[in-house]
Structure 1
Amino acid sequence: MKYSALLLGTIALLALNTVTAKQYQEAKKPNIIFIFTDDQDHKMDSLQYMPNVQKYLVNEGTIYENHYATIAVCCPSRVGLLRGQYAHNTNITDVSPPYGGYERFNTLKLGEDYLPVWLQKSGYNTNYIGKLMNQYSVNNYNNPIPRGFNYQEQLVDPYTYIYNSAVFSVNGEPPVYYKDAYQTDVIHAKTRAALKRVQAQEDPFFLWVSPMAPHGQFEIGKGGSMKTSDPIPAARHAHLFKDVKIPRTPHFNPDQQVKTASYWKTLEKLNATMVEEFDETYRNRLRALQSVDEIVGTIFEELEKSGELDNTFVFYSADNGYHLGQHRAFPGKCTNLEEDINVPLLVRGPGIGKGKKSQVVSAHHDLAPTFVALAGGDEHVPSWVDGGVIPLTKALQKHRKPVSKESFSVEFWGLDLLAENYANANVIGPNTYKTLRVISQDYNYVYSIWCTGEHEFYDLKNDPYAMKNLYTGATNQLVNRLDALLVVLKSCRAETCRDPWRILHPDDKHVKTLRDALHKKYDIHYTQFRKVQFEECLGYYQVTNEAPVIGQHFLANVTDTSQQRPSSTEQYIISKFDKRADKSNEDGQFILPKEYHELLKLVPEPNQAVGHAPLGQDFEKYAIPVDKKLLETPVKWAEYNFYGFGS
């Protein structure tokens, strides 16, 4: 009897423990992992060449096919994601000073209230590995240390864009480099170590992994000449994809140029030699992504080992897309082409459909509020955030701040279009534009207005490669709705970004979509709105240059309007950028001064290809402190166009 009672008691205790463990697992907040590449295309099929992405994310998760970057260049895009805002609200509109970079980010105090802080307040252990943003360097890595991270290992400039020079600052400590190591492999090893660390802790974790691949490589020649080249793959991947070519879609190097606003009309048909060079660039991009794909495999293997897989959301995306020959364009981004703005978004986790494709419309400024919603911390998201919550799960489908139903705007400010890998191929002509995208089951429209006064209107549902500009033949009924909607979205803030129709129809709650607004009873209503126009072509954001602005409502919650017009100091910096001949040779190449070049070489590059095999768990033995001379010598790398190669 005693043994029976003891046995029954033991069974009851085990049952109680089992229920308790299950209840704990159900009550525990989900972990969130965000894999964020640099310049990865979605429209040119790069995901198809990543077997682990296919196995773990495509087959076991959902692809959100209508996800967009609202500014197609890295620093503004990354800051917009971190803040949940459009670039016209962060006022980070460039990759370089005075309108972009880590120092401006801190001058505007944007790093005091952003995603990692919100997640920490939500009870999360926050971690970051890889590239943060331009101008985080050997000179300012701890001035200040990025806030909101329990643990961070950031790539530091001027080595961020050099594949075989892996230089990191850990938690704001003096940088170290990893001798003869491939940069993505170091990020891979650090990711593995981070997962082991965070999974041993009780708090739910957020881990952001941000490899630089497949961004182009920065190269500095013996004489100090600076240029970009193709991505450098790990040695073990250099032989792959020898016969792969850029998809030959109808808009790839067309016989007739059909995109003609601003500089587009000047682009000539690419010759066979250039096309082959572009194909090799494409192949090298795919090769560089293989080491990223290995990171994806390790993440899921570690989650499976720890038992955390079923309680973890894994996101995969990129800061912006990339174009290669579409509409005759040289390699790069920064345009309003779908190749540049439509970026990958793959999600796997509890409640996410397996092997599915979603047509939900979303943008990068929606990711931060979505992450925090998954973390159960909605109260920590400020009211000024532009983005809404993507309806990933049944619970999020009922969120009180959903994403904009079908529309968003794309913006850019630039005086020319940078052509990567081709020093003398920059396209002179303004690259300042506002683009409206409206996507639903019934229509898929692109409506653009350039600072030159030119217009574009494409119906991508019937013309997916934008081969026919319909603007001159479009009905006034349609164009005036699109233009009015762009008026709102180009300067929207907070809730007006999520529901722009409330501004256009303040007394009619029935109008929630473009289809609703197209009813003929609103024809007269839409004749009252001024059209979107620029006063002049500027390379920076200035509210008064971009008319009209509807109501004083749009002037609330601005990050820092005082910095929208350049100060005298900034004008001096701009004038230095304009005098490019002073820092370039007769071939148009920028020349890094000898003393700076010598500083750069204090972190030696290997003499041969690296990355023959992934790094093991003992990778930290390769870490070497960076020479103090490099840390203590202030260098303004941006003055030599260091970030002007398409960062």
Structure 2
Amino acid sequence: MFRMNKLWLLFLSLGQVLLACQTPEKIEEKRPNILFIMSDDHAYQAISAYSDHLIQTPQIDRIAKEGMLFTNACVSNSICAPSRATILTGKHTHIHGKNDNLFPFDTTQMTFPQLFQKAGYETSMFGKLHFGNNPKGVDEFMILPDQGNYINPTFITQQGDTIINGYVTDIITDLSIDYLKSQRDQDKPFMMMYLHKAPHRPWWPSPEKFEEFRKKKFPLPETLFDDYATRGTAAHTAEMNLLTHMQYEHDSKIRPETIAEMGGVEPFIEPMPDGFYGPYNRANEAQKALYDPILKEINDEFKANWPKMTDREKMEWKYQRYMQDYLACISSVDDNVGRMLDYLEESGLADNTIVVYTSDQGFYLGEHGWFDKRFIYNESFKTPLLMRWPEKIQAGQVCEEMVQNLDFAPTFLEACGIDVPEDMQGESIMPLLLDATAQWGREAVYYHYYEYPAVHMVKRHYGIVSKEWKLVHFYDDVDEWELYDRLKDPQELNNVYDDPAYADKVQEMTQKLEDLRVYYGDSQELDQHYMDRYYDALGNAGYQHDHQK
């Protein structure tokens, strides 16, 4: 009996030694990979997992069917570069300083790719970053300069700039899959940022999608002809109306020659320099030959019908043209997300990879008569978020909690066992990933938009949003407040701030908003600082006056 015990102890000791001697690579294999997929300006309304009234997106939907769909995901500042900086840092824009598209990103800020790289992950980035030419913490990258181009795009690489012929959505996917397949260190877990340019303006689909979607007609949004009856100056003065601000050449693909032949068109819209030919002339002759028949059809239709249309009919025509091109771009994204998901399955990587699909913000698809984003109103404030993590996230879950792009970085770090820096302001949503009904301490989120005066002229504002309420303060050259009952008024048509029946709610939400500003370190002093910085850079009030004229 004594000898048997000694033998058992010997085997136990040997087992402990073997466990202790496992290589770091084998231990690291147990850590999940991260595939972060982000599109630019992809409205949640244009994902069929949210709503199928515009388009079917079966590949993106796979992520929700096999994982979790978030119905109250949102951004902290609905504009491209600030949102991306928030995602990278886990901080509000007034903290990391990239609060508008004008000023450069503070490269002293710690980003989550840097933390992944330090923790032994293989890190990479392919597609659209939007700011900076040398992303920190990334082992390999090929990124578009600034907005990039849909046709024959230029890429910034560590070896210099290069042009790749083809369609940008396909190319970004080719680069990403090729890296996973043949270039990465397969002894390390990976964190990849797979970042689509589409469906950012100007919406140039691939030739086959251009032809396919040109034949489609889409339902009009209920609020297409919104008159902003109960809202203040900001909604009335924003320059993002489909009829009066969407470009003929740049957006609807009307050739300048067509407008010249017509002797001009009404309403007059100042054209962007080279608005049509900038994107079109990136195509080679063979590519132009594929676009030209559809372009001719559009231009002939416009020339024949536009002068006879009422303003209402013109608005509807522009909406259809907008949706045809915007949704065609999304269809290519969906196809390519499917290619990536298929590769993960075929390679055996899917089981240990967290897949995230999101956008840098929402977008208006004709709601309130608008395109673009920027406002705290729902269509631009809310962003798609779908996550899949086999064996961790139960398939088919829906989470209704208020989560924000601020939360991505701490979530990814916690999921991969990496310490979350104390100065990150986001909260890990890991409890929700494991159980969509878990207790979530956050009752409301904070939002702050800064870029005014600028394109689209959306006034500066900040606010607080819960599942039930939204309180907004517009400031700078106005001082106006709006309150929305999100449950009774989901389309946000009725500002009840001055309604005596809501006086107690106004007082309650105003106090909560002030508390949130203190909690996140925002203040009137910072508001003034960023206004002064911005106006100084733009030449102060002269720019505002000229632009508003």
Same structural fold, with TM-score higher than 0.5 when normalized by the shorter chain: yes
Deviations 1:261-317 (A, max 9, x none): 223235799632122212211221111112212221121111112211111110000
Question: What is the 5 A alignment of 1:244-643?
Answer: 244=216, 247-254=219-226, 256-265=227-236, 271-329=312-370, 331-350=371-390, 351-377=392-418, 379=419, 381-391=420-430, 405-416=442-453, 418-419=455-456, 427=457, 431-439=459-467, 444-451=468-475, 452-473=478-499, 474-493=501-520, 542-543=525-526, 545=528, 564=530, 566=532, 573-575=537-539, 578-579=542-543
Q: Which residue of 2 aligns with 1:525?
A: none
2:37 to 35, 38, 41: 35
Asked if the contact 1:122–1:372 (Cα under 8 Å) also holds between the matched residues in 2, the reply is: no
Summarize the Cα distance change of 1:247–1:340 in structure 2 as closer, same or farther, 3 Å threshold. Answer: farther
State the one-letter code of the partner of 1:238: F
Summarize the Cα distance change of 1:453–1:565 in structure 2 as closer, same or farther, 3 Å threshold. Answer: closer
Q: Shift of residue 471 of structure 1?
A: 1.3
State the one-letter code of the partner of 1:352: I
Which blocks of at least 5 consecutive residues in structure 1 are unaligned?
A: 1-15, 218-230, 420-426, 498-531, 535-541, 546-562, 589-647
Output the CA distance in 1 between the equivalents of 2:437 and 2:235: 43
1:239 to 166, 189, 211: 211
Output the CA distance in 2 between the equivalents of 1:580 and 1:407: 33
Q: Shift of residue 321 of structure 1?
A: 1.0
Q: Shift of residue 475 of structure 1?
A: 3.6
SS of 1:313's equivalent in the other structure is strand
Q: Shift of residue 67 of structure 1?
A: 0.4
Summarize the Cα distance change of 1:214–1:369 in structure 2 as closer, same or farther, 3 Å threshold. Answer: same
Asked if the contact 1:88–1:491 (Cα under 8 Å) also holds between the matched residues in 2, the reply is: no
Asked if the contact 1:275–1:325 (Cα under 8 Å) also holds between the matched residues in 2, the reply is: no
Q: Which residue of 2 aligns with 1:642?
A: none
Q: Shift of residue 248 of structure 1?
A: 3.6
1:149 has 2:143 as partner = no
Asked if the contact 2:172–2:196 (Cα under 8 Å) also holds between the matched residues in 1, the reply is: yes
Q: Shift of residue 166 of structure 1?
A: 1.2
Output the CA distance in 2 between the equivalents of 1:125 and 1:274: 49
Q: Which residue of 1 aligns with 2:149?
A: 162
State the one-letter code of the partner of 2:129: L
Q: Shift of residue 244 of structure 1?
A: 4.7
Deviations 1:34-84 (A, max 9, x none): 110001101354664354435521322211111001111001110011100
Output the CA distance in 1 between the equivalents of 2:217 and 2:378: 19
Q: Shift of residue 211 of structure 1?
A: 1.0
SS of 1:133's equivalent in the other structure is coil
Output the CA distance in 2 between the equivalents of 1:405 and 1:468: 26
Output the CA distance in 1 between the equivalents of 2:216 and 2:141: 37
1:176 to 153, 162, 187: 162
Q: Which residue of 2 aligns with 1:91?
A: 97
Q: Which residue of 2 aligns with 1:539?
A: none
SS of 1:457's equivalent in the other structure is strand
State the one-letter code of the partner of 2:151: N
Q: Which residue of 1 aligns with 2:130?
A: 133
State the one-letter code of the partner of 2:373: K
TM-score when normalising by structure 2 = 0.74
Asked if the contact 1:406–1:438 (Cα under 8 Å) also holds between the matched residues in 2, the reply is: yes
Output the CA distance in 1 between the equivalents of 2:433 and 2:167: 41
Identity %: 24
State the one-letter code of the partner of 2:97: N
Q: Which residue of 1 aligns with 2:253?
A: none
Asked if the contact 2:97–2:106 (Cα under 8 Å) also holds between the matched residues in 1, the reply is: no
SS of 1:346's equivalent in the other structure is strand
Please identify which structure carries the higher helix content.
2
Q: Shift of residue 446 of structure 1?
A: 1.0
Deviations 1:447-477 (A, max 9, x none): 1111122211111111111122121224443
Q: Shift of residue 200 of structure 1?
A: 5.9
SS of 1:333's equivalent in the other structure is coil
Asked if the contact 1:261–1:450 (Cα under 8 Å) also holds between the matched residues in 2, the reply is: no
SS of 1:274's equivalent in the other structure is helix
Summarize the Cα distance change of 1:249–1:491 in structure 2 as closer, same or farther, 3 Å threshold. Answer: farther
SS of 2:179's equivalent in the other structure is helix
Output the CA distance in 2 between the equivalents of 1:491 and 1:246: 45
State the one-letter code of the partner of 2:114: V
Asked if the contact 1:195–1:302 (Cα under 8 Å) also holds between the matched residues in 2, the reply is: no
1:124 to 104, 121, 126: 121
How many residue pairs match? The answer is 450
SS of 2:101's equivalent in the other structure is coil
Output the CA distance in 2 between the equivalents of 1:394 and 1:316: 14
Q: Shift of residue 189 of structure 1?
A: 0.8
Output the CA distance in 2 between the equivalents of 1:191 and 1:287: 22
Output the CA distance in 1 between the equivalents of 2:187 and 2:136: 22
1:205 has 2:244 as partner = no
Output the CA distance in 2 between the equivalents of 1:471 and 1:40: 31
Asked if the contact 1:198–1:205 (Cα under 8 Å) also holds between the matched residues in 2, the reply is: no
Q: Shift of residue 215 of structure 1?
A: 0.3
Output the CA distance in 2 between the equivalents of 1:285 and 1:295: 16
Which blocks of at least 5 consecutive residues in structure 2 are unaligned?
A: 1-17, 244-310
Asked if the contact 1:391–1:397 (Cα under 8 Å) also holds between the matched residues in 2, the reply is: no
Output the CA distance in 2 between the equivalents of 1:453 and 1:298: 49
Asked if the contact 1:37–1:212 (Cα under 8 Å) also holds between the matched residues in 2, the reply is: yes
Summarize the Cα distance change of 1:26–1:156 in structure 2 as closer, same or farther, 3 Å threshold. Answer: closer
Summarize the Cα distance change of 1:577–1:44 in structure 2 as closer, same or farther, 3 Å threshold. Answer: farther
Q: Which residue of 2 aligns with 1:226?
A: none
State the one-letter code of the partner of 2:41: D
Summarize the Cα distance change of 1:280–1:490 in structure 2 as closer, same or farther, 3 Å threshold. Answer: farther
SS of 1:343's equivalent in the other structure is coil
Output the CA distance in 2 between the equivalents of 1:457 and 1:212: 34
Q: Shift of residue 87 of structure 1?
A: 1.1
Output the CA distance in 2 between the equivalents of 1:151 and 1:120: 11
Output the CA distance in 1 between the equivalents of 2:356 and 2:322: 26
State the one-letter code of the partner of 2:386: L
Asked if the contact 1:40–1:214 (Cα under 8 Å) also holds between the matched residues in 2, the reply is: yes
Asked if the contact 2:145–2:156 (Cα under 8 Å) also holds between the matched residues in 1, the reply is: yes
